[in-house]
Amino acid sequence: MMDFNKSIFLAGLNDINGIGCLHTWTNKLETGIKVSSKLDRALANYSLTQNFCNTSAEFPPAGVSDHALLIVTVFHSAKIKKSFSFLKCWVQSPLYDDIIAKGWACRYYGTPMHIMFSKLKALKKELITLHKDHFSNLNIRVQNARSALINCQVALQENPLSAGLLAREKLLLDELCALNKDELSSLHQRAKEHSLKLDDCCSEYVFARVTERMAQQNIGVIEDQNGRIHFGLNNVAKAFVDY
């Protein structure tokens, strides 16, 4: 069943609604008042748009029917190498100062520019490793930490005087708060949503905004000057070059 509260228009996400017919239905009257309307839409849920952000919808001419066909093309986005970006939450890691100190102490030879470039390149690799080990998949880590805390609190209901459970609850609570803080910082920096509160940091709205921003950077479908439709990043790029 489609959950329309969580659905979005493919055309709205990928801005390809103009490809094909503007009106998708007509009463086809030969005499009298002819009526045409945009009745049909392509809908996709959040899961589809996250995994297939370049999905497109096209309405070719209707032919003998009173409704135009709806052709939905679904394909994976081409993997684009992500640019390196520094996350503010890395600074909160107890390993951060040691990584910077050790990386900057390494000796390189050459021009001052070459030495600076070499040190930054070495630091980049170490910071990427730090991110993978401690800051990747923060949303999953938050969910796991919250589940562990709830399980511990359920056990405390049966044994409220257990010193071990009380100590474990404190550790799990501190861990969850730290992960929540890191996730909030990361989402604020990536999605530029500075007005979000801590309780909203895991909402689907934030992740949808991040996905939408990524999709807006890609052109998955284009119509050239001869009216031909080109799908896929490689074909779109070739059409631009040919034009």
pLDDT at 193: 45
Per-residue pLDDT of the chain (243 residues; tens, 9 = 90+): 334 333 333 433 333 334 567 788 888 877 778 888 888 887 777 777 767 767 777 888 877 788 888 888 776 655 556 677 778 788 888 888 998 888 888 888 889 899 888 988 888 888 888 888 888 888 888 888 889 989 988 888 888 888 888 998 899 998 888 888 888 887 777 666 455 444 555 566 666 666 666 666 677 778 888 888 887 778 888 888 888
Q: Where are the domains of the chain?
A: 4-80, 88-207
DSSP line for 60-102: ---TTSSB---EEE--PPPP-PPPP---GGGGGSTTHHHHHHH
User: What Rg do the C-alpha atoms of the chain give, in angstroms?
Assistant: 26
Give the position of tokens 């005499």: 31
